[in-house]
Structure 1
């Protein structure tokens, strides 16, 4: 078991989400940055889709009630195990009574804590991903107790770590495909989409990222149609909205662009106020 001693800004248990239920209006949910979550699980030897603890901006304080092994990937959250500073992308053995403190991000926006065997919280509609209205809680709170597998015979190497590509956290270009309604934009609008540096709004969250810079819009709403994580909608007011993992399954705003999977992962690691540009994937 792991006890939540103190929560961060937004902590939740996430796996790869709920696949195959969108026709019933059930959002996919799941980890915002699949690349980082997969890395943490792979280093431990877990399957890539194993449930992890996702933290945003500032992480929680956790007490371990039995032995296990852990790995932290994604944002560097100044992790400390008791008084030991931890590296990202490395395995550490944890003993009963140890306290893990995840602090404020040095870089990136979301950190991922993987435990050996994964978190064993309750499954709902084929996933452990927390989502309001589907799971009992949509975020972790102080006093929560998270079940994990007990192990004291982990044989992995706890002295090596993996070097990652920092571009995942720093590159401002996001690759996109043209969306279904892209060709309805005039030449000037299309050029502005690819020539503007957009800054991420503080109103961004797991459902959608918004930008501060508007794009002049004269398009008519569309018949309510399929949307996916990574779909970029253009609202009547000219605001661009990038739908993220917790997004709805249909929408009536023009779908002008679609992020690649890699671009969704990278955008999820950008802090509010940072700039991005769109690059069309050939």
Structure 2
């Protein structure tokens, strides 16, 4: 039996909902991806508003929310993407800390701005630890996405908590900005004259081929690069295949790859990209080390 007294039940899990904390950095030599929140800025905001420790686990929802029944009183907040959210039919705002009573349901609909929303809870969700992290990853943890009926533990709060119902404004830059700051990748110098510079002269669009491992762009980019020996890759690494496909690796990406690494996104740009939808335009902007 769990040592935690609070339980939230997943009534409807939504499109893709998972538990994420700050992940597992430093385990690449074991072949273990970093994982963690796709939009780390919104994830950290949730824990900041709740006065949680930064690594406290949240629920990450993609494209659409779900319905969650709280069997015990809790203090929660929603951050990141914007969408309609209700507690027992009463609308609540994004970025506002609220209490939810025992037996009440939180219902979150499709997102109309952004792609990923975070449900934070006072004290964090208390799913099982794996390699000192609660982040879900297929093959490493029992679940990689929320199934219907799952009961997720958390630390129940006192019946009469003193909450200031803090709220902050939405940072629209995550949703409005389509410029991704990047650094040259290890194989950038192998691109032919003018080919590397051409990456920054055009817009690209996100394709439907995307998940927590990576995002493929719709346009192809002609090049004369060859595949490389397997080499380290990280979240934000931009790979260019010999056939011209551009793949941007994200938080659940493998730790090595065999395609040329032409660019590396800044951490802030990973957050921006995580909030984009298929067909959204992006541009690369070069930054120097």
Common fold by TM > 0.5 = yes
3-state SS of 1:35 partner: helix
2:64 paired residue number: 58
2:82 paired residue number: 76
Q: Please show how residues 30-45 of structure 1 align to structure 2 within 5 Å.
A: 30-45=36-51
Cα deviation, 1:163-217, whole Å, max 9, x if unaligned, reads: 1321111101000000011111123321221111110010111000100101112
3-state SS of 1:272 partner: coil
2:3 paired residue number: none
Q: Please show how residues 101-180 of structure 1 align to structure 2 within 5 Å.
A: 101-152=107-158, 153-158=160-165, 160-180=166-186
Q: Which has the higher strand share?
A: 2
Distance of 1:254 and 1:154 partners within structure 2: 54
Q: Is the 8 A contact 1:16 1:30 kept in 2?
A: yes
3-state SS of 2:223 partner: coil
What TM-score, normalized by structure 2, do the two folds share?
A: 0.95
Shift of 1:132: 0.5
Distance of 1:191 and 1:281 partners within structure 2: 12
3-state SS of 2:44 partner: helix
Instruction: Identify if the C-alpha distance between structure 1 residues 187 and 165 changes in structure 2 by more than 3 Å, giving closer, same or farther.
Output: farther
Distance of 1:48 and 1:110 partners within structure 2: 18
Shift of 1:104: 0.4
Distance of 1:77 and 1:139 partners within structure 2: 20
1:47 paired residue number: 53
3-state SS of 1:202 partner: strand
Distance of 1:99 and 1:166 partners within structure 2: 28
Q: Is the 8 A contact 2:204 2:219 kept in 1?
A: yes
The count of aligned residue pairs is 281
Distance of 1:43 and 1:155 partners within structure 2: 14
Q: Is the 8 A contact 2:13 2:148 kept in 1?
A: yes
User: Which of 255-264 and 14-23 deviates more?
Assistant: 14-23
Residue 221 in structure 1 maps to residue 227 in structure 2:
yes
2:15 paired residue number: 9
Distance of 1:154 and 1:242 partners within structure 2: 44
Distance of 2:92 and 2:82 partners within structure 1: 10
Moved over 6 A (4+): none
Runs (5+) with no aligned partner, structure 2: 1-6
| Partner of residue 204 from structure 1, selected from 169, 192, 210 | 210
3-state SS of 2:140 partner: coil
What TM-score, normalized by structure 1, do the two folds share?
A: 0.98
Q: Is the 8 A contact 2:88 2:104 kept in 1?
A: yes
Runs (5+) with no aligned partner, structure 1: none
Measured on the aligned residues, the alpha-carbon RMSD in Å equals: 0.9
